[in-house]
Amino acid sequence: MAARTGLALLLLLSAGPALAADSWDKMLCMAGGGAPSANVLHCTRALEGGLFETPEERSRGLFKRGTAQIETGAYADAVADFDEAIRLRPEYGEAFHNRGVAKWRLGKLDSALADFDESVALGQVELWRAYKVRGDLQAEMGRLDEAVADYKRSLAIRPDWDYARKALRRVMVRKQGN
């Protein structure tokens, strides 16, 4: 494995420094895991360099950059990236979810809730997380019955998830106080 990785790196570097830098930007964008500001930079370079060849691939690059922008606090920029990712791939449940997170942080609660609803309807990959986050927003909006239902849906999928269990308990206590 290490020999193949070394060979790939050697071939990449021998193709020229510009191509190597571009390819690294795309690879680092897709891998994520670095500092959010560095992830934004790598994704921006790859997106502007036209390294994402298909609409689906470009949508994924925009998703990665938008996610990193949430982490840097650039919520409006994140929304713009998720808008474009969804335009390219309308069935992208995770992009709806993350756009909802960015809108929530911008204080656009109704619009965020609509994105979470769409994410759930599309059956995003981590549906248990989508239900829990939507429940958190519902609780913030004072929609306690809806929050309880979402937490229970989350726990039905992933019964061992303490975050959802604790959130459900908090809302149940809050409901008893109302």
CB 148 within 8 A of CB 171: yes
State the average pLDDT for the chain: 89
Domain assignment present for 15:
no
Task: Kindly state whether residues 110 and 133 are assigned to the same domain.
Answer: no
Task: Kindly state whether residues 104 and 55 are assigned to the same domain.
Answer: yes
Residue span of the structural domain in which 163 resides: 126-178
What is the reported pLDDT for 124? 78
Task: Kindly state whether residues 113 and 36 are assigned to the same domain.
Answer: yes
Q: Does residue 125 register a pLDDT over 90?
A: no
Q: Does residue 88 register a pLDDT over 60?
A: yes
Task: Kindly state whether residues 114 and 150 are assigned to the same domain.
Answer: no
Task: Kindly state whether residues 120 and 36 are assigned to the same domain.
Answer: yes
Task: Kindly state whether residues 114 and 155 are assigned to the same domain.
Answer: no
pTM of the shown model: 0.85
Domain assignment present for 62:
yes
Domain assignment present for 80:
yes
Domain assignment present for 12:
no
- Domain-ending residue, one of 100, 125, 150: 125
Q: Does residue 9 register a pLDDT over 70?
A: no
Domain assignment present for 66:
yes
What is the reported pLDDT for 33? 87
Task: Kindly state whether residues 25 and 111 are assigned to the same domain.
Answer: yes
Closest CA to 150 of 130, 170, 173, 169: 130
Q: Does residue 3 register a pLDDT over 50?
A: no
Domain assignment present for 5:
no
Task: Kindly state whether residues 93 and 170 are assigned to the same domain.
Answer: no
Task: Kindly state whether residues 106 and 170 are assigned to the same domain.
Answer: no
Look-up: residue for tokens 């470009």? Answer: 58
Closest CA to 112 of 132, 129, 134: 134
Task: Kindly state whether residues 32 and 119 are assigned to the same domain.
Answer: yes
Domain assignment present for 162:
yes
Q: Does residue 10 register a pLDDT over 70?
A: no
CATH at 62: 1.25.40.10
Q: Does residue 14 register a pLDDT over 50?
A: no
Domain total in the chain:
2
Task: Kindly state whether residues 114 and 140 are assigned to the same domain.
Answer: no
Domain assignment present for 177:
yes
Q: What are phi and psi of 107, to 5 degrees?
A: 85, 10
CB 12 within 8 A of CB 25: no
DSSP string, 71-139: HHT-HHHHHHHHHHHHHH-TT-HHHHHHHHHHHHHTT-HHHHHHHHHHHHHHT-TTHHHHHHHHHHHHH
CB 127 within 8 A of CB 135: no
pLDDT tens across 35-51, in order? 999 999 999 999 999 99
